[in-house]
Structure formats: C-alpha cells, structure tokens
Structure 1
C-alpha cells in the first residue's frame, strides 16, 4: 500500500543531500568503498536503500529489479569507466600537475555521474503509483539493518566467500555494520 505521507517526506529531503550527509559520517566512506570494491555493491543503490530506510520505507522487489538493471547499466557504462580512469592516473598524478588536474576533472565527472544516478533512483521512488507501487512501508528492525541491506542488494551470502577470503568476508560484514550504525531509526508515521 502506498504511503503518501512518507513519500512527501522523501521529497523534502532529496537523496543527493541525504547521501552527502551520510557519506560524511564517521566510517561510512570507507564502508561504502569496501562494499563497492570487495563485494561489487553499487554504492548509489546502497545509499538509495538507506534513504528509504530512514523514512520507514523499502523498495518492492519486483519493480526494483527493472530499475536496478537500468541503473546498473549506467554504472557500468558511465560511472565505472570514469572511476577506472581516475584511479589509474593516481600514480602519474603524483608526478605531473597536468595529470593531477585531469584526474580532478575525471573525479568531478564521476561525482556528477553518481549524482545523476541518485536522481534517477529518487525519481523512481517518488513516481510510485497506485498501479505499480514501487515503494512500501518498511518493517526493518534497527538491529537487522546490516543484514537487511545485504539481502536487499542480493549479495551472495557471506558464507559463500571462500575460506581463504575470510579477511574479505570480515571486511564486508564490518562495512555493513559500520554503515548500519550511522543510520537513524525509521521515523514513525505521522
């Protein structure tokens, strides 16, 4: 069932503003980078789910699949190549001011690509209609937020990581817990 009061509150706090504020909290940047680099998590989608969670909402799995595929293509075709170029130039940027400037330009473009992606996620949530409800009232318990995020993002169960990769598995678990610890409890309905 659509919750128009909560959807109105989503409009009052744009996803981009939420993402910037959350990312600035202690441990969140490193948690997001760990989840991105070690577990293949789309950080924009992760931030989207955190935004919904803080408003007491969740995305419906069925409609989520289509937008996830669309946003994944954006990440693969636009954001990831910019990130790869920026990261690849890091050693050369230390030796050359002009390459350092180029790297900063690529970083600006990467951030703009992420902002565009977040705006698409937000628009999808706000267009939740009576015919196809995409966002519903969430029932996630604060104590289960790390596991809920993992399950929502359709990651492999952490047990599926090889025993040789226990450090990676522990890093991923710690990253989800660090992120979850910075989220505020769901707002109660007004």
Structure 2
C-alpha cells in the first residue's frame, strides 16, 4: 500500500492522531516522518534513515513548521479581521499544509527500498528518532506504536 493511503487510514484510527500530535507538540517530532518510519517498518522497506531525516528536517524548517505556524496563528480571533474570512483562510492554509505533508511523505516513500519481511514498528520509530538527531522518547513512541497496532 502506498504510504499516503496507509497514513490516512492509520491517522483515522483511535488514539493515533493523539499520539502523533503529542510527539509533535511535546517532543518536537515530525508526524509525516514518524508515520513514514512506522509504514516502512511494517512493509519491511529499508531506507537511508539519515538521508530521510535530513530531507525531513529541511522540509519541516522551510515548509512544514512555517505553514503550521500560520495555521495556528489564525485559530484565534484576529483584531480587525472578521471571523468568517479568517477561518476560511485558515482552512485554505490547512489544505496547503496537508498537501505539503503529502509531498514530504511521497518523497520519503521514494527513498524507501522494496518490500520485504516486516520489521518491528516500535524499533522503526526509535531508529527514525535516533537518525533525526533527537533522542528517542520511547514511552511516547510506544504509545504511537501501540495505537498503530
């Protein structure tokens, strides 16, 4: 299954979104990158985790985080801006942010090798967190792995 399709199905499962957003907000992790790591492990698709982490970090710094910041800034009322147009603009930014996440995931998928024997999802998440230069938050990663199981 393609990563994007898998990610949409996985994210819709109970507790996955909460676990992902906790890793993003409390631990500075990149959700599309973690979902890629879980998918790659489950599919047994090897990849150069360091190269993937470099791509993710640059993308997040230059694209993902700025879009997320704009979307979040538009969540609260903005002085002298009517709520309806502000919310409409926020939804448009949200759509672009989601499209950006898809571009990142498709790029990460393209860096992945062919399918083989499935690997342990938790270990894939831990390896990805290590490759990104961030110390693994094992309990938080376990929460995501459990939600994905």
TM-score, normalization by structure 1: 0.67
C-alpha distance in structure 2 between counterparts of 1:40 and 1:101, whole Å: 28
Partner of 1:114: 101
The DSSP-based 3-state class of the residue aligned with 2:13 is coil
C-alpha distance in structure 1 between counterparts of 2:107 and 2:40, whole Å: 14
Deviation readout 1:57-93 (Å, 9 max, x if unpaired): 443xxx3212321221111111111100100111117
Partner of 1:150: 126
Count of equivalent residues: 144
Gaps of 5+ in 1: 1-12, 129-134, 159-171, 185-190
Report the aligned-residue RMSD.
Answer: 2.4
Deviation readout 1:126-183 (Å, 9 max, x if unpaired): 5x6xxxxxx875643xxxx43552343113255xxxxxxxxxxxxx72x423321233
Gaps of 5+ in 2: none
Runs of 4+ in 1 over 6 A off after TM superposition: none
TM-score, normalization by structure 2: 0.83
Superposed counterparts of 1:158-173, under 5 Å: 158=137, 173=139
Q: 1:111 deviation in Å?
A: 0.2
Partner of 2:38: 50
Q: Which of 1 and 2 has greater Rg?
A: 1
C-alpha distance in structure 1 between counterparts of 2:117 and 2:70, whole Å: 40
